[in-house]
Amino acid sequence: MKSQQSKFKLVNRGFAKTIVLIPGWASDYRIFDSLDLGYNYLLPVEFNPFDFDNSLKESLRKHSLGKVSMFGLSLGGFVAAEFAAMNTSLIDELFLISIRRRYNLKVLQDIELKLQKSRKAFLHKFYLAGFAKGDKEGLSWFKKNLLKCYLEGIKLEELLRGLDYLSSTYLKPESLSAIQKLKIFHGKMDAIAPVREAQVIKSYLPQAELICIENSGHLFHLNPDFKAIFNG
């Protein structure tokens, strides 16, 4: 399950900076389709967290990119943090979205069993758990644009690879001490990654800014007002 290579697509949107958008578990680069941030986008159109470091550096060389910003969502937050910690000279800004320090191994094993039993049923419940009462517009967009294609198109092999990665990694806040431009965004009603974990991560990083979003859950970035929150 670790053999697939990550592959990236550069979307030139006419901005001076480029941001690498890294999706979470059980999603792909399309989870960012509703974003309208002031950057060019470097998107992992094929994504393997185990292979990410080398593949991204190869893509940066290919497109003659120097420093980039990184936007890691959930599982993508682990990947972004690990890359940033190991490659500080390549990082302009780091944005960590809906993150936690680690996932419980027993919980991950239970998810694997449920996926083996009924992949679609588990995923449907999981996706809905990503939204809170303040995320109505984001949930509506997700149902219209991604729910069906994710339920039908995301393969069990990809899901198990993601669980394998999550079971073997954890976020080390102290490793990010050299990243000066660092923001952590988190929904206060996140049922998948409790906000207290983001608060603990922030406590290790005096230079970081923690932005908590009221009445929002794990996928709050799909809300139409996220751009204004992101820009401060």
Per-residue pLDDT tens digits for 63-108: 999 999 999 999 999 999 999 999 999 999 999 999 999 999 999 9
Per-residue pLDDT tens digits for 105-118: 999 999 999 999 99
- Tell me, yes or no, whether 148 lies in a domain: yes
Q: Please tell me the pTM assigned to this model.
A: 0.96
Structural domain count of the chain: 1
Specify the pLDDT at position 1. Answer: 43
Domain that holds residue 35: 7-231
Cβ neighbours around 128 below 10 Å, total: 14
- Tell me, yes or no, whether 2 lies in a domain: no
Please say whether the beta carbons of 4 and 158 come within 8 A: no
- Tell me, yes or no, whether 1 lies in a domain: no
Q: b/e string for 77-112 if b means 16 or more Cβ within 10 A? A: bbbbbbbbbebbebbebbbbbbbbeebeeeebeebb
Burial class (CB within 10 angstroms; exposed 0-12, middle 13-18, buried 19+) of 216: buried
d(CA 7, CA 55): 7
Per-residue pLDDT tens digits for 19-56: 999 999 999 999 999 999 999 999 999 999 999 999 99
- Tell me, yes or no, whether 152 lies in a domain: yes
Decide if pLDDT at 13 tops 50. yes
Per-residue pLDDT tens digits for 113-160: 999 999 999 999 999 999 999 999 999 999 999 999 999 999 999 999
- Tell me, yes or no, whether 79 lies in a domain: yes
Closest by Cα among 197, 205, 179, 229 to 74: 197
Distances (CA, A) of 72 to 14, 23, 99, 121, 133: 22, 7, 8, 26, 23
SS3 87: coil
- Tell me, yes or no, whether 118 lies in a domain: yes
d(CA 169, CA 159): 16
Specify the pLDDT at position 178. Answer: 97
CATH of the domain at 78: 3.40.50.1820
Question: pLDDT band at 2, cuts 50/70/90?
Answer: very low
Specify the pLDDT at position 4. Answer: 78
- Tell me, yes or no, whether 137 lies in a domain: yes
d(CA 123, CA 102): 20
d(CA 82, CA 169): 9
Per-residue pLDDT tens digits for 163-209: 999 999 999 999 999 999 999 999 999 999 999 999 999 999 999 99
